[in-house]
Each structure stands twice: as C-alpha cells, then as structure tokens.
Chain A
Amino acid sequence: RKEVEQDPGPFNVPEGATVAFNCTYSNSASQSFFWYRQDCRKEPKLLMSVYSSGNEDGRFTAQLNRASQYISLLIRDSKLSDSATYLCVVNIIGGGSYIPTFGRGTSLIVHP
C-alpha cells in the first residue's frame, strides 16, 4: 500500500463549481502536510500548507484530520486556470530526518 493515496481523477467540473480532493496517509508519525499544484510538464509548486486547525487562502481551503489520517483540499468557484494536477505531500520522519512523500496526484479539468 502506497504511503500517500489520492484519487487520480480526472475530476471534470464546470467553471464556478466547488470541488474537493481527499488524500489519505498511512504513517501516523507524519509531521507536516502540503498541497502542491503541478501544471503539465512543469515543476510542482506549493499551493498551501495544511494546518491542524484548517486553513483558507482565497478560494482554497485545506483541512487535516489526524485521527482518520487524511487531508482535504476544497476549491470554490473553480476557474479555468485551476486546471492542473494537485499533489498531496506528507513529511514523514525517517532516519532522523523528514522525508517528503508525494501522492500520485489528482487531475482537475475545469471546463467553460
């Protein structure tokens, strides 16, 4: 079982829709959590960190549920420019250092 699991999608939604992605992780010692965005053939870029209390950045809301070991990303009022792959990242302690572990990504397509 992969340590970080995501539904690969694609999620195909109209402009203005609200869409939610989930990500589950298997290692309870996971320390920190992030959502990245990756456009086709480009490098991943940080979208937002995920805090225990939940956090919001404009149309984006991230939540963490440590008890159930999942994180979520909610995108409201989807824009065409939101079309991308969204990567869930979990920092796991290993060998005395923190090892970022990526999910395989969830593809989002926003159409007119």
Chain B
Amino acid sequence: NAGVTQTPKFQVLKTGQSMTLQCAQDMNHNSMYWYRQDPGMGLRLIYYSASEGTTDKGEVPNGYNVSRLNKREFSLRLESAAPSQTSVYFCASSSIRSNQPQHFGDGTRLSIL
C-alpha cells in the first residue's frame, strides 16, 4: 500500500548544486503536485500537473522545474540550489475530480548551505 512515494527523504546540498526530487504514486491519479512548507508559511504550491503531459506553475515556481515523466511519476528539479530553497518538500496526487482530496508523500527535507 505505497500511495505516494518521495525520494530522497533527506538531502543536504551546497549553494549552486543541482538535484532532482522524485515522486511516484500508485493510485492511478491524474493530478500531481509539488509543495514546499516553511515555518509559519503553510503549504505553498510550486508546480502541478493536472494530467499526464501537462504542467503548470503554482504560487512559487521560481528556481524550480518539473517533469511529468508518465502518469505515475512527477519530478521536481532545482537547477542551482539557493539557501532560500531550504524547506520541506511534499508531493501529492489526486483524482481529477474536484471533490477528491489529495494524498501526500511523507516529504523531503532539503537543506542548502
């Protein structure tokens, strides 16, 4: 019963390094999302993919790129990491129907020095 799986769970980077956060879901959901959560800021949407083959910017897309590799997988890339991107990153998925809730992965804790 995997649900939404994120890798890695923890990562420390140096400023300027790049990395890709991976997310996969096994619930046959159409929509997938990437959020970041910072203290006192709540969850903020970075990018989302309403269906396979489409991606759209959310509230805070700058400094990030995404790829919807197939229906199951949605990756988030930091091309040149900055300390301001230190955060907890959550991936989520949901059915395309509006009354369906999201299911979350257990997060990636990313620190950029």
Contacts and interface: CB of A to CB of B under 8 A. Distances in A.
A34 interface: yes
B43 interface: yes
Interface of A: 8, 31-32, 34, 36, 41-46, 49, 87, 89, 91, 93, 95-105
Interface string B4-33: 000000000000000000000000000101
B104 A87 contact: no
25 contacts: A8-B40, A32-B98, A32-B100, A41-B109, A43-B90, A43-B104, A43-B106, A43-B107, A44-B90, A87-B42, A89-B102, A93-B98, A95-B50, A97-B51, A97-B56, A97-B96, A98-B96, A99-B45, A99-B48, A100-B45, A100-B94, A100-B102, A102-B42, A104-B41, A105-B42
B98 A98 contact: yes
Interface string B69-113: 000000000000000000010101010101111111111010000
A105 B39 CA distance: 11
B106 A42 contact: yes
A97 B98 CA distance: 8
A41 B99 CA distance: 27
A29 B102 CA distance: 19
Contacts of B102: 46, 89, 100
Contacts of B33: 100
Contacts of B104: 43-45
